[in-house]
Structure 1
């Protein structure tokens, strides 16, 4: 009915606007029966429109009251859920921290054990290479000396024997020096690889610790506003 009131008012305005004007005056000639009928319709429509408005206002109050009650219920439910989520997050963070600490300790222990094993193996292998190289060098030198002594006993080939013996001894010493150099380089390369392995293991452990500290900081920053609200 409220819409009918506005429709009647529009019809009245149209009737007045379309009325013929009186010359030399701001007055107009309107159709009295039509205008009276519209006014009667307007008078009849007003009580129903007022009743509709009253019902709308009452419904609005009921809707607002219901909405406020629902908002209070939702707020309480959200607060309870937030409290539960914070509690679960704290428990999960503590569990994750404990697991990270345990993993870091296991990783460091294994890294130390692997490092000791690799170092012991490298030292043993280097020692074996040195001993093998020394034995070969001594054998070559001794063979050269024996050959030298044998040739010295022969006067006719004395000079040739001396020269050959010196060449053999020089070759033997060069070969021995090469073996010693190869052994030293092998040991140095092995120790360099071991150092790189230890650095990588240390970097892995430090990265795990940094990740754990960062996660703690993020968790603390995330839950700080919740603590202030409470």
Structure 2
């Protein structure tokens, strides 16, 4: 009978169809199956109401599945955007805190250097002032105090040298403090760089998870188009559901 021949062709089409990953279902060319069903209907005049209802409802089933896929895609996109925004905000906070700490360290170092230099200058001026006063008193003492004047001049020279030495030491200390501050800033920025790298790694992992989730529901991020001749690219169905052109071999 022609009916059994058509049924054999339909069974062969299902058995040789490409299987859907992680499922007992298979992807079948819709036009081929519909042609076989039309032939079967013509060869078998009795109407199969249940099969006809399923065919009539196929557009509704496809629209429902497509809407669910769109909802999942929008949810995934929103979660990815929130993850990126959170990572960006955290990175900005890290940069702000590191910059503030570096600026505070530099300000403290500069203030300490200025204090040391100012103290050295004041001490130098005090020593010079005392030396001048002593020299003036020696001159006022007259010729009898000439030897003392010479000695006092030596004292003045020595005091000036000591004052210059204090000033040089203060400037060296100030330079060292500035160098230490620069090293601290460099170390802080290096730590910040490592933190940003870890944040970027976290973002990449989040994106990988989202892509894996998108692949598990059977669609791509940038395209939702499907060929008209095949239902292989139709929106994914939940486990146990059957769409047009997809038959569960376990049934």
- Provide TM-score, normalisation by structure 1: 0.52
Structure with the larger RCO, 1 or 2 (CA within 8 Å, 6+ apart): 2
2:143 counterpart (117, 131, 155): 155
| Alpha-carbon distance in 1 for matches of 2:106, 2:115 | 14
Given that 2:110 and 2:178 are in contact with CA atoms closer than 8 Å, whether structure 1 keeps it comes out as: no
| CA separation of 1:87 and 1:167: change in aligned 2, threshold 3 A | farther
- Provide TM-score, normalisation by structure 2: 0.49
**How far is the alpha carbon of 1:220 from its aligned partner?**
4.4
Aligned positions, number: 151
Which residue is 1:190 aligned to?
A: 177
What RMSD, in angstroms, separates the aligned Cα atoms of the two structures?
A: 3.6
Given that 1:107 and 1:205 are in contact with CA atoms closer than 8 Å, whether structure 2 keeps it comes out as: yes
Structure 1 residue runs without a partner (length 5+): 1-70, 74-82
Which residue is 1:130 aligned to?
A: 117
**How far is the alpha carbon of 1:141 from its aligned partner?**
0.9
**How far is the alpha carbon of 1:72 from its aligned partner?**
5.3
| Alpha-carbon distance in 2 for matches of 1:130, 1:209 | 39
Which residue is 1:101 aligned to?
A: 88
- Map of 1:46-61 to 2, 5 A cutoff? none
**Which structure: greater helix fraction?**
1
Q: Which has the larger radius of gyration?
A: 1
Structure 2 residue runs without a partner (length 5+): 1-21, 25-68, 219-251
**How far is the alpha carbon of 1:102 from its aligned partner?**
2.0
Is 1:141 the counterpart of 2:124 in the alignment?
no
Is 1:176 the counterpart of 2:184 in the alignment?
no
**How far is the alpha carbon of 1:130 from its aligned partner?**
2.0
